[in-house]
Structure formats: C-alpha cells, structure tokens
Amino acid sequence: MTAVLTQLACAVDQAVLKAAVAAVAKRLPSRPALPTLACVKLTVDGDRLSIAAFDYDTSATAAVSVDGRGDGQVLVSGRLLSALTDTLPAKPVALTVDNGRLKLTCGTVKLGFPTLPVDEYPQLPDLPPAVGTVDAAEFARAVKRVAAATGPDAEPKNLIGLWFSFDAVLTMLASDRYRAAAGVVSWQASGEAGHACPPAHLVADTAHLLSGRVTLYADDALFGMSDGNLTVVTAQLTDHPGERLRSFFDGQTNRTVELDAEEFAGHVGRAAKVHEKATPIILDFADGGVAIRATGEDSTDADAAMDCDIDGGPIEIRINPDYLTAAIKAAGTGRIALRMGAVTKPVQVLPVGDDSYRHLIVPIRKQ
C-alpha cells in the first residue's frame, strides 16, 4: 500500500495556483460515486506541480511551474481547495504535507486540509494518439459557435456531442435535432483522417482556458486536448449522426435576407420575453423589411419591424426565438444572412462574408 509522501513541498504563485485549481475543479463530479472522486490529486515532481481530477468519464490535469523542495503526492477535497485558493492574497503560496495534512501558507494566512490515501485514487487515462494542432483562440471561437446548437440535456444522449472531422481542415458539427451548426478552422493535421465525438459542453467549457497551440488527441474510445499546461481527456460518444447531418447544410434555398445582427437580435430577444413558451414567434419578410411578431399569455403581444435586403419572394416563418437568438449571437456582430427555402425547410443563419460557420434551425409548422 502506497503511503502519502510527506516530503511534498513547493512554493507557487498564488494567481497561477488559483487558475490551475479552478480549471481542474470544473471537472469534479457534482455527485461523486466515491469520496476520492471529490478530491484532486496534487503531485510535485521536481519543479512541476500537477493538479488532477477524474470522474471515470473525464480527467483534467493542470501543470504549473513551482519552486520544488520535495517530491510527493497528496489527495485533498477539490471544491474546498478551489474555494479557499480563490480567497488568498496575491502573495506566494507554500504547500507542504505534515502528519497527513496538507498545509497551505500564503502571507499571514495558514490553511490545513485533511487528506485521503493516494493509492485509493483511480488511475487517470493516458492520452490517445495526437491527430493535429490548432491555434487556441481560433479553436475556442469555433467550438463556442458550434456548441450553441446543442446542450447537455439533449436527447438522445449522443446528441450532446461535438462531432469532429479530422481532415485537411478541422470540421465541427453539433445538433439537437431541432437545430444544427457547423464550423471549420484551419489546423495542422498530424494523423490520418478520422472522426471524434466528445461532449460539446465539456469541450466548450475547456477550450477557452487553453492558450498557444492546442494539440488534439483521439482514438476509438477517448478524445483529448492539451496546450501543455492544461490537459483534458474524455470518453467519446457513439452513434452521433455527424456524417449524415452534413447533407442538411447543402439544402436548397431560394431566398437570402441580409440584415443588421445587433438590431435583429434586439427585436428577437424582446419577442422571446413576450411569447408563450409553447408557441413560436413569427418572422414576416416582404417589401424590403421584416416584421417580428409574438403573442404571449393574457393577450400580451410584441410587434417590431426593421429594414433588410431580400433576394427572393416574401415568406413567413414561425421559429423558436431562443434558438434564433443563440444562432444570431454565435454568428457574431455586423451583418448576418438568413437563407430560406420552403417554410418547412431549415433556416440557415450565417455571418455575411464568413464561410467558416453556418447554423440551421428547423422552423415550426403552422398549427
């Protein structure tokens, strides 16, 4: 049986420690199956401190440079460590283990944490093979846009996934059946073409924490991403219809509307506050403008109109305003385009002059 190594000791910058613990604590399960899964594992090896969390589906490891004074490992409550490091003054932090307790000193602040046996903590999964690298900022932006088309409560559960296609460009796709989004980003492939499908919300929650160049990893069972300091490995979802959904983005359209994103978002957002949840809002495009109408409970209603450029005949669309708001926000500021065919066909939302992102929303049939 491996005992806690009591010689663990290091000094680390408070801001660096706070950020690393916070990033890892995001992956702690809200209802851990075992007491150890509510903990983070701290490992000091030379001048490097690793902080790890694992729930059998997802692992996260943050590594920071420290003034190492003794190698070792310790297991402590992750949420408690995160909550308390967030309150520390901006001074160097010393970590030591003494008599089975983690001691943390920061200026005049002294904290003590009970520890659990390190050998009771499960083995973290190894990274699968690398498949390519991508700029962190471009990756985070693309992930945020595409993940807007699904959520952690989508059913069936495979539709919570963010589907990646590894090829000459990195393609992403997400859908919850009522909407779908696709994005592409340039990258440097290092493996064979293939696919991966991790949970979309997990990738979105992590991508914005990464910096520099991000390496992506994948095999048939696992997906990983790392910038060298923060590494996340998660189990893949199966049976995501990513390949089949690609054809939806090639659907026929015979109308294109261009309009100001910010003004349109304001009108749609106002209508969303009024409309009854079981009913759509109505978009009526005609004569160089669009009317946005919503009816709510107790006969409350909202009407607005704005100018737009219409290429094609008039059309009236009934649509979920929450989905439309998310699509407009993901498309970005400036001008956006709506491409439409028949009133029962998906509405495409995309930024004008940017072919790297498209969002589809299935309209609601008239009752």
Please give the pLDDT value at position 7. 66
Regarding the domain with residue range 9-120, which homologous superfamily does it belong to in the CATH classification? Answer: DNA Polymerase III, subunit A, domain 2 (3.10.150.10)
pLDDT at 163 over 90: yes
Please give the pLDDT value at position 334. 92
Tell me how far apart the alpha carbons of residues 285 and 119 are, in angstroms, rounded to a whole number: 65
The yes-or-no answer to whether 9-120 and 130-245 have a common fold is yes
Please give the pLDDT value at position 3. 41
pLDDT tens by residue, 2-39: 444 456 899 999 999 999 999 999 999 888 888 999 99
Token pair 């390519």 in the structure block, residue? 132
The vertex-231 CA angle with 198 and 49, nearest 5°, equals: 155
Give the pairing type, strands 335-340 and 347-351.
Answer: antiparallel
> Which one is predicted more confidently, 367 or 356?
356
**Topology, domain 130-245:** DNA Polymerase III; Chain A, domain 2 (3.10.150)
Query: What does the block give as tokens for 64?
Result: 């920071």
**In the chain, what are the domain boundaries?**
9-120, 130-245, 251-361
pLDDT tens by residue, 317-342: 999 999 999 999 999 889 999 999 99
Report the candidate in 208, 205, 226, 203 with the shortest Cα–Cα distance to residue 216.
226
Positive/negative CA dihedral, 86, 226, 355, 144: negative
Q: Please, where are the H alpha helices in the chain?
A: 14-25, 78-85, 136-147, 200-207, 242-245, 261-274, 321-331
| Average pLDDT value over all residues in the chain | 93
pLDDT tens by residue, 164-206: 999 999 999 999 999 999 999 999 999 888 999 999 999 999 9
Report the candidate in 225, 221, 216, 218 with the shortest Cα–Cα distance to residue 236.
221
Please give the pLDDT value at position 1. 36
pLDDT tens by residue, 205-218: 999 999 999 999 99
Buried b (16+ CB within 10 A) or exposed e, 45-77: eeeebbbbbbbeebbbbbbbebebeeebbbbbb
pLDDT tens by residue, 246-286: 888 887 789 999 999 999 999 999 999 888 777 899 999 99
Please report which confidence band the pLDDT of residue 73 belongs to, taking 50, 70 and 90 as the band edges. very high
Please give the pLDDT value at position 171. 97
- Residues 251-361, CATH architecture: Roll (3.10)
Question: Which residues make beta-bridge pairs with 52?
Answer: 41, 61
